[in-house]
Chain A
Amino acid sequence: MTTTEHLQRMAAPTGAIMPGVLRAEWTKLTSLRSTRWLLLITVLLALVVSAVVTSVYASQYDQDFAARHTIDPAYWSLTGLIFAQLGVGVLGVLTMSGEYGTGLISTTFTAVPQRRTVLVAKAVVVSAVALVVGAVSSLGAFLLGQLVLSGKHIGAGIGDPGVLRAVTGGGLYLAVLAVLALSLGALVRHSAGAIATVLGLLYVLPAIGAILPPSWQDTAVPYFPGNAGLAILHAVPMVNAAAPWTGFAAFCAYAALAFTAALYVLPRRDALPK
């Protein structure tokens, strides 16, 4: 009855499937133009916004300005990441939701029925890419910003307190954001819906937080996802913000929660929404 007796068959490799699935996901991610565009947008937004913000601060800087603002030149140069995160967020979502949109997810899960392995491989690949691009964006934005600020002699050095943490934090933040966005893509399964959810978490929620009563400002609002994650970009401690590593840890917890939820539902649902 079995066909194996008289069929010449290719020998399947043995051992763990994860290395192959990682290669597959790397091939998928890097073979799309949209990936390159989104990563380019990420780097460009980080650099351009950094140049603009530091230029404005440099032009306005005087004794009066110094009295009214927290002087954090490292953070000023990293504000571009608040916009650049959009590129990584969309990339993370599309890595999963794009496959639902095209129906390719059926082919993917037919090739690898171990759906959790697929999700973990996607998370590793997209967060690794986000880490590298985030580190490049962060360091580039910092150097460009300090170049602009050096004209006013108000720049920060990488050895100044908190600066190294802020600059490396930019890359770390985007790497974790990629996992959060990927997980939301897996949970929501529609690109537009998942991107809207990411935008809501990163931009709308902080905006709502800003108009909440003062009692919330130093308790809940700093731990909203976007606010918490971006706290690590501050070299100088802020009022009404989470401590850098505390905020980052909270952001990691959000990502872990979403990732766990995605791992939970993925094998339990039919591959495509009915």
Chain B
Amino acid sequence: MIAAEGLTKRYGSVTAVDDLSFDVLPGRVTGFVGPNGAGKTTTLRMALGLDAPTAGRVTIDGRPYGAYRRPLFEVGALIDAQALHGGRSAAQHLLALAHSNGIPGRRVQQVLKRVGLGDVAGRRVGGFSLGMRQRLGIAAALLGDPPVLILDEPVNGLDPEGIVWIRTLLKSLATEGRTVFVSSHLMSEMAQTADHLVVIGRGRLLADSSVEAFVGRTSRNEVRVVTPQSTELAGLLTDHGVHVRAVDGERLVATGTDVSTVGRLAADHRIVLLELAAQSASLEEAFMELTRDSADHTADFGNMDGAA
């Protein structure tokens, strides 16, 4: 389990991560989602002991990362797939990592096979595509067969086949009982991969819930109606405590209700309906809605989450 408590990181006057508290539980894939610059990478770097929090703390299975003496057996991490020395082969890169934690050298071939790089083990990584580098980074995370995985934007640069592959891999790792914490700025991607979501914007926690609950909570469940008696229906709905968002000629949009309620109400009052449709916001729309106020597009803050 990963636990953040009041985690805060400030760079001068800029607050990249702001009093963030959440738990990431084992046995499921937890998506860590937020717009670029929301503070995802900074949070993950603090979890891995790379950057020091200004305040608060983050622990992995109860201990700060720095307390682990051979952490690759506890936590597998992918922080930046591009962070490789192009002159080394994939196998050499992994072998050095394996040695550093006393992991047997035979694991190198095993994990390279598992990520589909078995045939290019001896090739210099300088010639690897971003997709291959992502796979190599995941191989590195799997070296010590760790119960906790922390992956920063592992889907970036993967082709459709690679995206399906990693989705399946993450789910199977979670099914094995591991803690899987995956960041992404794409809510649609996480909708298909994650069971649970931790959503942040501007370094603040916006949501910590299951994917279904997140959609339910943030989306407006709307009913679109087309009727010649739109004014009459609007009044009727309002009388029944339903919020009518817009009336435009024959069209109206009611929120916080469902088609059966609206349909029955209209029939009871002999109102002619020409069209009646449920309209639920997609996950991406829910995400946009939630993070609209927190999305930050200024150049300097945008770097917070990027290559930095």
Contacts and interface: CB of A to CB of B under 8 A. Distances in A.
Contacts of A113: 49, 65-66, 68, 71
B80 A106 contact: yes
Contacts of A20: 70, 99-102
A62 interface: no
B34 interface: no
A79 B192 CA distance: 67
B84 interface: yes
B26 A3 contact: yes
B242 interface: no
Nearest to B75: A110
Given A1-B25, A17-B70, A110 B48 contact: yes
B96 A106 contact: no
A64 interface: no
A206 to B, nearest CB: 33
Contacts of B61: 2, 4
A34 B87 contact: yes
A21 B49 CA distance: 18
B261 to A, nearest CB: 42
B50 A109 contact: yes
B79 interface: yes
Interface residues of A, number: 40
Interface in A19-36: 20-21, 23-25, 27-28, 31-34
Contacts of B308: 272, 274
B27 A3 contact: yes
Kindly list the 3 A-B residue pairs having the minimum CB-CB distance in the complex, ordered from nearest: A103-B83, A24-B100, A13-B102
25 contacts: A1-B1, A2-B1, A9-B145, A10-B144, A12-B101, A17-B100, A20-B102, A21-B100, A23-B100, A27-B99, A28-B96, A32-B85, A102-B84, A103-B83, A104-B83, A106-B48, A106-B83, A109-B50, A110-B49, A110-B50, A112-B100, A113-B68, A270-B45, A270-B50, A272-B308
Interface of B: 1, 11, 25-27, 45, 48-52, 61, 65-66, 68-73, 77, 79-80, 82-89, 92, 95-97, 99-103, 107, 140, 144-145, 147-148, 176-179, 308
